[in-house]
Amino acid sequence: MRVEHAPAKLTLSLRVTGRRDDGYHLLDAEMATLDLSDTLVFGPGDGIELVPLVRTAPFEPTLVTSALEAVGRQAFVRLEKRIPVGAGLGGGSADAAAVLRWAECSDVAVALSLGADVPFCLTGGRARVKGVGEVVEPLPFERRVYTLLTPPVAVSTAEVYRRWDELGGPSGDNGNDLEPAALDLEPRLAIWRDQLGDASGRTPRLAGSGSTWFVEGAFPDVADAVVTRTQIVAGPSPDD
């Protein structure tokens, strides 16, 4: 048996810098690893046992299966799910990256074939991410605390990008170009944004394509004012 942790990622800023002929969008983003993570336990055999440890949208661990196929390996995987699905925290990508680490595969091309966030999740830490996700430039370690609000609403990343195109490629005035498209696609997101803003006194920012909102700092009383709240620390320990 072998255990791999799959840390979530937080997209601190995101600019869409272009679009390739194949439809993929080019990004310039800052991402950081969180201390919120799924756990994958690998053992002999074949198959996946999904253990949801948080209330989340319906989920099929297809990226775990795809990652195993990509490295030509077989295992029975127990996936303990703590990262909410459709929250913009890279849970599926983190799980795929954990499979690659288990298989001792560090090939960026393989990671990218599984998803745009997988190369960053494979590297972890804090980084500037460019291209379609394949360029991961490490940044100096910084320990920061964020308060996250994950609404009970899942948002499709593909649909958010599609709406961003339909809206003419708007620039987000809060550091995330996808925020206007996500709000247009799912107007209810504004409810939780405003709750977190009122409770913290800060302007929330959308994590990636959503649906999670976050503000920097610890706000222990936020749970009394919003639907759900998680406080996490960005970045692994410098000694990890």
- Hey, what amino acid is at 116? A
Q: Do the first three CATH levels of 2-138 and 144-234 match, i.e. the same topology?
A: no
CA 25 to chain CA centroid, nearest Å: 17
Q: Which amino acid is at 53?
A: L
Q: Please give the average per-residue pLDDT across 216-232, as a whole number.
A: 64
Query: pLDDT at residue 231 above 90?
Result: no
First CA to last CA distance, the chain: 22
The band of 240, judged by pLDDT with boundaries at 50, 70 and 90, is very low
Cα angle value 33/34/39 (rounded, 5°) = 100
Selecting among 9, 81, 95, 177, the annotated active-site residue is 9
Mean pLDDT of 213-217: 95
- pLDDT over threshold 50, residue 227: no
CATH architecture of 144-234: 2-Layer Sandwich (3.30)
Mean pLDDT of 85-94: 93
Mean pLDDT for 89-101 is 97
Evaluate if residue 234 carries a pLDDT over 80: no
pLDDT above 80 (res 235): no
Map out the domains of the chain as residue ranges: 2-138, 144-234
**138: confidence class by pLDDT, cuts 50, 70, 90:** very high
Q: Report, as an integer, the average pLDDT of 100-116.
A: 97
- Which positions ≥6 away from 138 have C-beta within 8 Å? 123, 125, 126, 127
59 pLDDT tier (thresholds 50, 70, 90): confident
Tell me which of 38, 95, 117, 177 is the catalytic residue: 117
184 is catalytic: no
Q: Which residue has the higher pLDDT, 219 or 224?
A: 219
Residue-wise pLDDT tens digits, 17-28: 999 998 899 999
CATH code at 2-138: 3.30.230.10
- Going by pLDDT thresholds of 50, 70 and 90, the confidence category of residue 228 is very low
Neighbours of 212 (CB within 10 A): 29
* Mean pLDDT, residues 140-169 taken together: 93
Instruction: Judge whether residue 239 has pLDDT over 50.
Output: no
117 is catalytic: yes
Please check the confidence at residue 219 and state whether its pLDDT lies above 80: yes
DSSP characters over the chain: -EEEEEEEEEEEEEEEEEE-TTSPEEEEEEEEEEEEEEEEEEESSSEEEEEE-S-------HHHHHHHHHTT---EEEEEE-SPTTSSS-HHHHHHHHHHHHTT---HHHHHHH-TTHHHHHH-SEEEEEETTTEEEE-----EEEEEE--S----HHHHHHHHHHTT-PPPTTSBTTHHHHHHH-TTHHHHHHHHHHHHSS--EE-TTSS-EEEES--TTGGGTSS--EEEEES--TT-
pLDDT digits (tens, 9 = 90+) for 178-211: 999 999 999 999 999 999 999 899 999 999 999 9
Q: Fill in the amino acid letter for 79.
A: L
Q: Residue range 138-149: average pLDDT?
A: 93
Structure confidence at residue 223 (pLDDT): 65
